A = this chain, B = another copy of it.
Amino acid sequence: MATRWLDDEEQATWRSFIAVVELLPGVLDTQMRHESGLTHFDYLVLAMLSEDPQRTLRMTALAGWTNATLPRLSHVVRRLEGRGLVERFPCPEDARATNARLTDRGWDTLVAAAPGHVETVRGQVFDALTPEQVGQLAGIAQAILGRISPGGRPLSPGAGPVSPGQRGTAEAVTTGPAPA
Q: Is there contact, CB below 8 Å, between B129 and A16? A: no
Q: Which residue of B lies closest to A24 (CB)?
A: B21
A174: CB under 8 A from chain B? yes
Q: Is there contact, CB below 8 Å, between B140 and A133? A: yes
Number of chain A residues close to chain B: CB under 8 A: 60
| Majority DSSP secondary structure for residues of A touching B | helix
Which of A2-10, A83-91, A94-102 contacts its partner?
Answer: A2-10
Chain B residues within an 8 Å CB radius of A4: 118, 122
User: In A118-141, which residues have CB < 8 Å from any B CB?
Assistant: 118-119, 121-129, 133-141
28 contacts between A and B (CB under 8 A): A3-B119, A4-B122, A5-B118, A5-B175, A5-B176, A5-B177, A5-B178, A6-B118, A6-B122, A9-B138, A10-B175, A13-B137, A14-B121, A14-B125, A16-B145, A17-B125, A17-B141, A19-B149, A20-B21, A21-B21, A22-B25, A22-B67, A23-B67, A23-B149, A124-B144, A124-B147, A128-B143, A129-B140
